[in-house]
Amino acid sequence: MALSHTSARVQAAGPVTVLGLESSCDDSAAAIVRLSPDGGVEVLAERVENQNTAHAPFGGVVPEIAARSHAERMDHLAKAVLEEAGLALADMDAIAATSGPGLIGGVMAALMTAKGLALGAGKPLIAVNHLEGHALSPRLVEPLAFPWLLLLVSGGHTQLLSVDGVGQMTRIGSTIDDAAGEAFDKSAKVLGLGFPGGPQLEKLAGKANDPSRFPLPRMLARDKSCNFSFAGLKTAVKRSFDTLDAPTETDRADLAASAQAAIAAHLAERTGRAMDIFAEHNPDARVLVAAGGVAANTAVRNALEKLAEEKGFRCLFPPLKYCTDNAAMIALAGAERLRLGLTDPLDTPARARWPLDETAASADPLIGSGRKGPKA
């Protein structure tokens, strides 16, 4: 990470205004955030455009389609938020963009756009780890003090981290194969639901007569770590569905509810262990933040809120629009890094893999069993 102390020290005395761009998966987004010296955050403008219609026929995100769509949208999204905020590029203190992890073609769209804008306007570039954006997202709504425990749970990531500061994350647990969001989406696909699968499965589960009807396995039952595993659950859902000769709507709803309950229970069990570890080292900072798209699921939220009450933690969920991929969190992470003097050179590469805790990732990679494993 390159340091640019001069520009950052100039900005540290007053507010910092940053344009952020995001394109790591299938949401194209831009936002402008202003960070005040006291930690207050103002989102001056934000836009998100999804690609659900383009990917729906395939039942999942197609990387080539996503990359092309991002490339077509990033310029006009940046222009749109500048116009909405009534500002020009010259008014920005830096340009921030997701530079990983994610689908590499998509990541390149935001990063290359940010490089062009930074070069043309003579502004610093800040390459943001998408996961750090999620980690810092609660500070979009309140000046939350470090540290806190983070459950990052989405279609590509399932991790437990101690968020100790900007650029300071300690991994406590991670998935050893698939992410929770993938378990939701693949289960939805088995049940013949549309894309994106997670919200569709939650909606169907709400119609269940018997949420415990299908005895799905408890993942990593003998493992006492804080790691997750969802690959076996996906297989079990398919096998359960295949046993039904002519599945009715009630059958499908019961299986959806059973799958949702199993995912929520596994997340809560592992998070509870992480709470004990975190509280041992941070007895006065008992805050659990759940971020990422799966954190919008009601069953998951209820399980985590119940767990937090039992453990004496405050449970904090960013607003739903900041749980899913967005550019406001990228702009905020960029602003936080700029205030610390952290900027990046224009030859910074896009990265498909970029762990928050590099030390833990090197010592214990936890790469999954899929073709490329979790994108974290």
Instruction: Using a cut of 0.95, tell me whether the model's pTM lies above it.
Output: no
> pLDDT of 168-180, one tens digit each?
999 999 999 999 9
What value does the mean pLDDT take over residues 157-178? 94
Q: How confident is the model at residue 154 (pLDDT cuts 50, 70, 90)?
A: confident
What is the 8-class DSSP label of residue 44? E
> pLDDT of 211-257, one tens digit each?
999 999 999 999 999 999 999 999 999 999 999 999 999 999 999 99
Q: What pLDDT was estimated at residue 195?
A: 77
In 3D space, the residue among 180, 170, 175, 169 whose CA is nearest the CA of residue 333 turns out to be 169
Is 160:172 a contact under the CB 8 Å cutoff? yes
What does R_g of the chain's alpha carbons equal in angstroms?
21
Mean pLDDT of the chain: 89
From residue 137, alpha-carbon distances to 10, 275, 280, 315, 329 in Å are 25, 20, 25, 14, 5
d(CA 292, CA 285): 21
Task: Give me the domains of the chain, ranges plus CATH numbers.
Answer: 5-141+325-363 (3.30.420.40), 148-317 (3.30.420.40)
> pLDDT of 69-83, one tens digit each?
778 889 999 999 999
What is the 8-class DSSP label of residue 349? P
> pLDDT of 246-291, one tens digit each?
999 999 999 999 999 999 999 999 999 999 999 999 999 999 999 9
Which tokens hold the place of 29? 């987004």
d(CA 353, CA 340): 24
Q: At what angle do helices 104-121 and 63-85 cross, to 10 degrees?
A: 30
